[in-house]
Amino acid sequence: MGVVDATKETFDDLVGSGLVLVDVWAQSCHPCVALSPHMTSIADGNQDLTVVKVDASKARRLCMSLQVRGLPTILLFHDGQEVDRICDPNLVADQVDAWLAEALAKLPTKEA
Protein backbone atom coordinates (compact mmCIF):
# COMPACT_ATOMS: atom_id res chain seq x y z
CA MET A 1 0.00 0.00 0.00
CA GLY A 2 2.91 2.36 0.57
CA VAL A 3 2.67 5.49 2.69
CA VAL A 4 -0.66 7.31 2.91
CA ASP A 5 -1.02 10.99 3.80
CA ALA A 6 -3.72 11.66 6.40
CA THR A 7 -5.76 14.71 7.30
CA LYS A 8 -8.07 15.27 10.23
CA GLU A 9 -10.94 14.26 7.92
CA THR A 10 -9.38 10.97 6.78
CA PHE A 11 -7.45 9.95 9.91
CA ASP A 12 -10.15 7.93 11.72
CA ASP A 13 -10.94 5.89 8.62
CA LEU A 14 -7.25 5.20 7.97
CA VAL A 15 -6.51 3.95 11.50
CA GLY A 16 -9.88 2.28 12.07
CA SER A 17 -8.89 -1.29 11.28
CA GLY A 18 -5.78 -3.41 11.22
CA LEU A 19 -2.27 -2.35 12.14
CA VAL A 20 -1.41 1.25 11.35
CA LEU A 21 1.85 3.06 11.97
CA VAL A 22 1.32 6.82 12.17
CA ASP A 23 4.30 9.06 11.46
CA VAL A 24 3.70 12.61 12.75
CA TRP A 25 6.24 14.84 11.07
CA ALA A 26 6.98 18.31 9.71
CA GLN A 27 9.18 19.60 6.92
CA SER A 28 10.98 21.81 9.45
CA CYS A 29 11.91 18.77 11.60
CA HIS A 30 15.25 17.45 10.34
CA PRO A 31 14.98 14.03 12.06
CA CYS A 32 11.48 13.66 10.58
CA VAL A 33 12.74 14.33 7.08
CA ALA A 34 15.67 11.97 7.61
CA LEU A 35 13.30 9.18 8.73
CA SER A 36 10.94 9.57 5.77
CA PRO A 37 12.71 7.07 3.46
CA HIS A 38 12.82 4.54 6.30
CA MET A 39 9.09 4.89 6.87
CA THR A 40 8.59 4.11 3.18
CA SER A 41 10.80 1.03 3.59
CA ILE A 42 8.70 -0.10 6.56
CA ALA A 43 5.54 0.33 4.48
CA ASP A 44 7.02 -1.58 1.55
CA GLY A 45 8.32 -4.40 3.75
CA ASN A 46 5.25 -5.05 5.91
CA GLN A 47 2.11 -6.13 4.09
CA ASP A 48 0.13 -6.31 7.34
CA LEU A 49 1.01 -2.75 8.35
CA THR A 50 -0.31 0.49 6.87
CA VAL A 51 1.94 3.53 7.26
CA VAL A 52 0.16 6.86 7.56
CA LYS A 53 1.90 10.24 7.59
CA VAL A 54 0.46 13.27 9.37
CA ASP A 55 2.01 16.64 8.54
CA ALA A 56 1.93 18.40 11.92
CA SER A 57 2.12 21.84 10.31
CA LYS A 58 -1.11 21.15 8.37
CA ALA A 59 -2.99 19.08 10.96
CA ARG A 60 -2.51 20.95 14.23
CA ARG A 61 -5.91 20.07 15.67
CA LEU A 62 -5.37 16.40 14.90
CA CYS A 63 -1.97 16.57 16.61
CA MET A 64 -3.58 18.17 19.64
CA SER A 65 -6.21 15.43 19.81
CA LEU A 66 -3.45 12.81 19.53
CA GLN A 67 -1.54 14.61 22.31
CA VAL A 68 1.58 14.96 20.20
CA ARG A 69 4.13 16.80 22.34
CA GLY A 70 7.13 16.79 20.01
CA LEU A 71 8.46 15.64 16.67
CA PRO A 72 9.04 13.13 15.38
CA THR A 73 6.27 11.13 17.01
CA ILE A 74 5.37 7.67 15.75
CA LEU A 75 2.24 5.92 16.96
CA LEU A 76 1.04 2.36 16.50
CA PHE A 77 -2.69 1.74 16.18
CA HIS A 78 -4.46 -1.62 16.22
CA ASP A 79 -8.09 -1.64 15.11
CA GLY A 80 -8.50 2.06 15.84
CA GLN A 81 -6.85 2.06 19.28
CA GLU A 82 -3.43 3.51 20.00
CA VAL A 83 -1.28 0.76 21.49
CA ASP A 84 2.14 2.42 21.66
CA ARG A 85 4.12 5.52 20.69
CA ILE A 86 7.64 6.83 20.52
CA CYS A 87 8.69 10.46 20.54
CA ASP A 88 12.33 11.51 20.48
CA PRO A 89 13.89 14.58 18.82
CA ASN A 90 16.95 12.46 18.01
CA LEU A 91 15.05 9.43 16.70
CA VAL A 92 16.90 7.31 14.12
CA ALA A 93 15.86 4.36 11.97
CA ASP A 94 17.39 1.68 14.23
CA GLN A 95 15.42 3.00 17.20
CA VAL A 96 12.22 2.93 15.17
CA ASP A 97 12.86 -0.68 14.15
CA ALA A 98 13.59 -1.78 17.73
CA TRP A 99 10.54 0.06 19.11
CA LEU A 100 8.25 -1.32 16.40
CA ALA A 101 9.44 -4.90 16.91
CA GLU A 102 8.84 -4.58 20.66
CA ALA A 103 5.43 -2.95 20.19
CA LEU A 104 4.29 -5.60 17.71
CA ALA A 105 5.48 -8.38 20.02
CA LYS A 106 3.18 -7.06 22.77
CA LEU A 107 0.07 -7.36 20.60
CA PRO A 108 -2.18 -10.39 21.08
CA THR A 109 -1.76 -12.94 18.32
CA LYS A 110 -4.63 -14.34 16.33
CA GLU A 111 -5.28 -17.98 17.02
CA ALA A 112 -5.87 -20.33 14.10
Residues annotated as catalytic are 29, 32
HSE-up (13 A, CA, CB side) for residue 90: 0
Q: CB within 8 A of 54, min separation 6: which ones?
A: 5, 6, 11, 22, 23, 24, 25, 62, 63, 66
Q: How far is residue 56's CA from residue 100's CA, in Å, rounded to a whole number?
A: 21
